[in-house]
Amino acid sequence: MAHPGIALARIVLLAAVLPPSLLADTSVVALGEFAPWRRAEWRVDGVPVVDNPFDPDQIRVDATVTAPSGRAMTVPAFWHREYSRALVDGKEVLTPAAEPQWRLRFTPTESGEHALVLSTALRGGPAVASPAVRFAVAGPAADGQHGWVRVAADRRSLETSDGRVLRLLGANVCWGGDRGTYSYDAWLPAMRDAGENFARLWFAPWSMGIEHAPGTLNRYDLAAAWQADHAVQLAEACGIYVLIALDHHGMFMANDPAWGGSNNFWTRSSPYAAENGGPCASPNAFFTSPEARTLYQKRLRYLIARYGSSPHLLSWQFFNEIDNAYIPRSDLVASDVATWHRDMGRWLRANDPYRHLVSTSLTGASDRPEISGRSEMDFSVYHSYGEADPALYVAGISARLARAYDKPVMIGEIGTNHLGWQIHNDPHLRGFRQGLWGGVLGGSVGSSMSWWWEDLHDDRVYPHYTVAREVMARAGWGEGVWKPAEFVTSGEPPLALGEPAAGAQPFSATLPLNQLRLNPVSGETAIADPLAASRTAERLSTYLHGSRSPHLQQHARMHAWFAERARLIFRVNSVACDADLIVRVDGEERLRAPLVNKDGLATLNDEINQEYTVDVPAGRHSVEIAHTGADWVNLKSIRLERMLPAPFAGGWTFAAGAIGLRRGDDAAVVYVRSPHVAWPAGATRYNPPVVSDAVVTLAGWTGGTAAVIWVDPASGRDVIATRAEPRGGDLPLAVPEFTDDLVAIVRAQAAR
């Protein structure tokens, strides 16, 4: 089907029959005022008519703008159509409001007289320039504009081109649903009012995807492009920086059963697929075919022309979780995808005159050095779902990735569950809040960026962002160099247990399990008491991996004291391959049962759904669930009955956990969470135990006596002001009584 507007003229004008005077007969009409750091836009008239105005091989219209300083920048023009919108039965309906036309966008960064010269080339012929047009840029810079975003000199943070550090606070708002752009009219101003300054958008078949449907290959969907215009420009007006994910992994899936097959968009939607008239016989060919690469570069050129002029465009992001489409889920070859990232990253660097940051993203808990380590990727992106003790976990991930790749880290998605908002599992928002602060104070570029944005809006979670903004503003987050703080701790819980107390009463527990398939937990834990039992998700996964994944959890091994009539009860959900299920007690096999992959799929669908029970003798024992398969076995639940409470060896106890940032010995911000609510531990408790006499100790403090203001991160209310005295080169912070979490603003008393 012909793209709207292309049928205006089917006469193909060849360069050979057009005199240079005709090619030069173009003009620009300004569509607004000119001010520094404010997008300037022109309509371009008199451009020759071609069959496909999107294709720079048919027609290439560029503008070279020379600033008063003499600095020149060349930017492409683009084919555009204006639309009107209406909300009909809860759905956005777009109607063309004008004939298609050429547009030009450019953001001046200087005051004074500028010169603009258009050049037009047909069919690869020589470019012919139009007479220079002069325009004056005057007045103050647009509010809130500080320049293009770049990586700061510390290689850990971002800054604007005027040298201001840029700390991000925000969430994903990837698509608008049935309401389309009307959703952004509600979300983005609410985010702004809460103090957020970051949003992530997706280009996808169902939202703003300009080349995501059959018939759109190098003939872009102008209605989708208009929707993206609306979202980007509204974000800009709200002072919100935007990251645009240009494709999601489903565009490269053809026959994958995951997500019920709903993500198999290759043959359904991709214009690159041979089934839809494209040049690629398979998804991997998108990454290797010279023709596909050339076509994709044409899309990038169009995106640069249409959206690149925005100083609030934080980053182009090539893909959302592209490794979701790797073999065996599709035919993508990791090395081909990595090479593609290298080549397209270099192309963007060479052709984006604004030098916007470039990134990509990978599946939750994955790390692929062949992509993340590439210099063409300006920062690393990590997606976090269902990870236990999220504040400390996310901080640890940020530190590890920053060390590994010497570049900033963004926690690009986070949620307590990858399947849904599931507020019933986090009714007091403990997991949400811990994840949020894990990003803010964990050494990443800002907050962790929440997924499930419709729920965030409907449940009015915005005040938590406001508190984070206000606390960090009071601490001076935007001034100086802040680095992750180190704390004096007693380390990880031991696996050894002491003797149970005389007369100790047995307890039973259903053990929380880590839900994400790739989370690299240890698979081994000691269960000393009910608190230790509530925190097993930090070490035990619902997935038991096989021989193909030796770096991931292979078993669930639990050490505990057991009373008479103790039992292990567990249920198997699904398997990814045939395997023998094995239960051992102190290394002795107590159960072996065959597990058959009945459907041949690697999906969670309760295909096994069988419960197993093993008696455990009285005494101290190691109980292990394992299997012989090459791929994973998924455990739906684990329950241990009639354990005896006993101390950890050496008197080790769970303490309040802390993360923080510090600015030398001048200032620090510390987030402290109770050991009883390290999510999912205590997630649903209405009244967690009060924590008294807790102390967290900043390591290596030489700033002298410090003034400390303790703040409730749920309400933003100041709790108490205290003083902290250094001891032995460290700074112990006595934490006031609390139940969930607290934030401390720490300042050396000599500091102003």
Q: Which domains does the chain have, with CATH numbers?
A: 6-137 (2.60.40.10), 149-484 (3.20.20.80), 507-650 (2.60.120)
The partner residues of 119 in beta bridges, in order of sequence, read 62, 129
Residue 615, CA distances (Å) to 115, 566, 569, 595, 645 in order: 84, 6, 9, 21, 19
Closest to 237 in 3D by CA, of 32, 80, 39? 39
Closest to 677 in 3D by CA, of 429, 336, 423, 351? 429
Residues written for the chain: 752
Other C-beta atoms lying within 10 Å of the C-beta of residue 674: 24
How confident is the model at residue 328, as a pLDDT?
Answer: 76
Pairing of strands 198-202, 170-172: parallel
The partner residues of 597 in beta bridges, in order of sequence, read none
Residues of the chain below pLDDT 70: 1-22, 24, 142, 750-752
Query: Could you give the maximum distance between any two Cα atoms of the chain, in Å?
Result: 101
Which parts of 365-499 are beta strand (E)?
380-385, 409-415, 483-484, 487-488
How confident is the model at residue 6, as a pLDDT?
Answer: 33
Pairing of strands 165-166, 170-172: unpaired
Please, how many CA atoms are within 13 Å of residue 189, restricted to the half-sphere of its CB? 5
Please, how many CA atoms are within 13 Å of residue 629, restricted to the half-sphere of its CB? 28
The H or E element that residue 505 is part of is none
For every residue of 247-298, DSSP letters joined together read: -BGGGG-SS--GGGGTT--HHHH-TTBGGGT-SBSSTTHHHH-HHHHHHHHH
* Distance, first Cα to last Cα, the chain: 67
**Whether 271 contacts 28, CB under 8 Å:** no
* Residue partners of 740: CB distance under 8 A and separation at least 6: 428, 430, 433, 673, 674, 677, 688, 714
What is the Cα–Cα distance from 19 to 598, expressed in whole angstroms? 70
What is the Cα–Cα distance from 686 to 506, expressed in whole angstroms? 24
Other C-beta atoms lying within 10 Å of the C-beta of residue 113: 13
Considering just the CA atoms, what is the radius of gyration of the chain in Å? 29
Which residue type is seen at 189? P
How confident is the model at residue 132, as a pLDDT?
Answer: 94
Take residue 351 and report the two structure tokens written for it. 């052709």
**Whether 692 contacts 708, CB under 8 Å:** no
**Whether 646 contacts 497, CB under 8 Å:** yes
What is the Cα–Cα distance from 732 to 489, expressed in whole angstroms? 11
What is the Cα–Cα distance from 218 to 298, expressed in whole angstroms? 7
Backbone angles phi, psi at 378, to 5 degrees: -75, -25
How confident is the model at residue 376, as a pLDDT?
Answer: 98
| Reported pTM | 0.94
* Residue partners of 206: CB distance under 8 A and separation at least 6: 175
For every residue of 300-353, DSSP letters joined together read: HHHHHHHHTT-TTEEEEE--BSGGGGBTTTSSB-HHHHHHHHHHHHHHHHHH-T
* Residue partners of 315: CB distance under 8 A and separation at least 6: 149, 243, 244, 356, 357, 358, 359, 378, 379
**Whether 329 contacts 253, CB under 8 Å:** yes
- Please report the sign of the dihedral spanned by the C-alpha atoms of residue 601, residue 606, residue 608, residue 613: positive
What is the Cα–Cα distance from 575 to 634, expressed in whole angstroms? 6
What is the Cα–Cα distance from 622 to 588, expressed in whole angstroms? 10
Closest to 202 in 3D by CA, of 267, 114, 112, 265? 265
The H or E element that residue 234 is part of is helix 222-237
Closest to 168 in 3D by CA, of 335, 356, 315, 328? 315
Backbone angles phi, psi at 74, to 5 degrees: -105, 125
Take residue 52 and report the two structure tokens written for it. 């496909």
Closest to 314 in 3D by CA, of 226, 446, 415, 212? 446
